[in-house]
Amino acid sequence: MRKELGIQEILKILPHKWPFLFVDKVTDIEPGKRGIGIKNVTISEPYFEGHFPQFPIMPGVLIVEAAAQTAAVIFAAGEIERLSNEPSGGSRVSKKEMTDSPFLGYLSSIKKMKFKKPVAPGDQLKIKVRIGASLNGLTQVIIAVSTEKETVAEGEIIIAKKQ
């Protein structure tokens, strides 16, 4: 598994597409465990038309969504590695295998989330994700989001395994 996945690989993994794709690249991947998502925030994002036209800031819920999408890529990277290492898996993993993956899931809970600074057009988000403990189909994900200047959000989300 490569240590970095670009937008073409992300588009193959995530079901999300524009305008609801909030991760441009994932770096420093330790498949199934941790990684860093990169989101380039641009004024052309459709939500800036209404949030807020005179002082555009990225909604906090979309920062959380970017973290959840980064976690999904890291989960998928772990699943791709696992499937590729199976005797019949070979080096290629099909879209069907990824769709049927037990690691695909849904955002179930947002816990202890703190938003420290607004995110504006021109910022580049660095979304650090660490996969935590799993229990009964729920997985803890610890997130810390920063720009080049400072931490803008941190907290924890829970992902529910796809049933």
CATH of the domain at 109: 3.10.129.10
Q: pLDDT (tens digit, 9 = 90+) per residue, 12-71?
A: 889 899 999 999 999 999 999 999 999 999 999 999 999 998 999 999 999 999 999 999
Residues 6+ apart with CB under 8 A from 61: none
- Domain housing 11: 7-161
Please state the domain count of the chain: 1
Structure tokens at 27: 């770096």
Report the C-alpha gap between 60 and 96 in whole angstroms: 32
Active site amino acids: 51
Report the C-alpha gap between 79 and 44 in whole angstroms: 34
Q: pLDDT (tens digit, 9 = 90+) per residue, 116-162?
A: 999 999 999 999 999 999 999 899 999 999 999 899 999 999 999 87
Give the position of tokens 């670009």: 6
| Prediction pTM value | 0.89
Residue 141 falls inside a structural domain: yes
Residue 2 falls inside a structural domain: no
- On whether the CB atoms of residues 144 and 154 are closer than 8 A, the answer is yes
